């Protein structure tokens, strides 16, 4: 795919190691706090090695911060569990 003659590359996954390197400090900061309940998307999104952004041909996110309608069912459990705490 090209836009304005430039190639667009969007990764379909991130290694779990890279994901934790990028977001691990956020998880560490909020885990265990009494004033915050943290929903960890990586516990649903990632396996032992990879954190995919696309599953079965469907994107999980519409941008860096918003999940797609098709991904809501996949992530629903972590939000329900978090809100129940």
> Where do the structural domains in the chain lie, given as residue ranges?
12-84
User: What is the average per-residue pLDDT within 28-38?
Assistant: 88
Closest CA to 46 of 65, 23, 25: 23
Supply 45's token pair. 């999104």
- What is the arithmetic mean of pLDDT over 26-31? 91
Q: What is the pLDDT of residue 78?
A: 86
Provide the pLDDT confidence category of residue 2 given band limits of 50, 70 and 90: low
Angle, alpha carbons 59-24-14 (nearest 5°): 35
Label residue 3 by pLDDT band (50, 70, 90): low
Across residues 26-51, what is the average pLDDT? 90
| Residue 72 clears pLDDT 80, i.e. is over it | yes
- Residue-level pLDDT at 8: 67
């Amino acid at each position: 795919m090209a836009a304005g003659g430039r190639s667009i590359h969007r990764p379909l996954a991130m290694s779990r190691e890279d994901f934790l390197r990028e977001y691990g400090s956020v998880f560490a900061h909020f885990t265990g706090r009494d004033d915050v309940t943290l929903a960890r998307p990586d516990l649903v999104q990632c396996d032992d090695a990879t954190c995919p952004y696309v599953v079965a041909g469907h994107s999980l996110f519409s941008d860096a911060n918003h999940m797609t309608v098709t991904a809501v069912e996949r992530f629903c459990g972590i939000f329900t569990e978090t809100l129940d705490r």
